[in-house]
Amino acid sequence: MTLPGADTAAAFAQERLCSSNELAEKGKAVLFDVVHFREPARAFALRFDGRVVAYLNRCVHVPTELDWLPGEFLDGDHEFIICSIHGATYDPRNGRCAGGPCGQGKLTRIAAEERDGLVYWLPTRDTRPADPTTAGPLPVV
Ligand code: FES
């Protein structure tokens, strides 16, 4: 099965993120550091409708982190990811803007998968592990 956003992931080793039981349904997210287009960035993974979804922790409106407390991304009804700065809301299933100043934008998805009680994220050419000792080979350009 091909995961959305995993088109360039095959050349890079999966990164272990956490245990499955650390991600409660519509609960607190797990944060992790990445290098996105050679710049340090934060990302997050959470469980929604039973699936693990992961995105760059960066609002489409202004490139700032979304969470209103570390790891807290969902609104009061636990239905949308909400930006703590100006209240843009995003559909957790696909990262698309659902309201507010994010317009037609969507969050940058990071492919994630769950296997044998563990959650992994899949680095790509553009989004790589922050720890260079676990990074895959540099892409040939
Ligand atoms: S910075 Fe996120 S809505 Fe403005």
Beta strands 127-129; 51-56: pairing state: unpaired
pLDDT in tens, 2-20: 444 444 445 689 999 999 9
Enumerate residues 6+ apart whose C-beta is below 8 A from 59.
65, 66, 83, 85, 86, 88, 102
Domain ranges of the chain: 9-110
- What pTM value is reported for the model? 0.86
Does the CB atom of residue 34 touch ligand 1 within 6 A?
A: no
Higher pLDDT, 12 or 65: 65
Q: How far is the CA of 28 from the centre of ligand 1 (A)?
A: 20
Domain 9-110, architecture per CATH: 3-layer Sandwich (2.102)
pLDDT (tens digit per residue) in 90-105:
999 999 999 999 999 9
User: Taking a C-beta distance cutoff of 8 angstroms, is the pair 5, 12 a contact?
Assistant: no
**What atom of ligand 1 comes closest to residue 66's alpha carbon?**
2
- Report the nearest atom of ligand 1 relative to the CA of 64: 1
**How much of the chain, in percent, has pLDDT values that exceed 90?**
83
Where helices occur in the chain by DSSP H, the ranges are: none
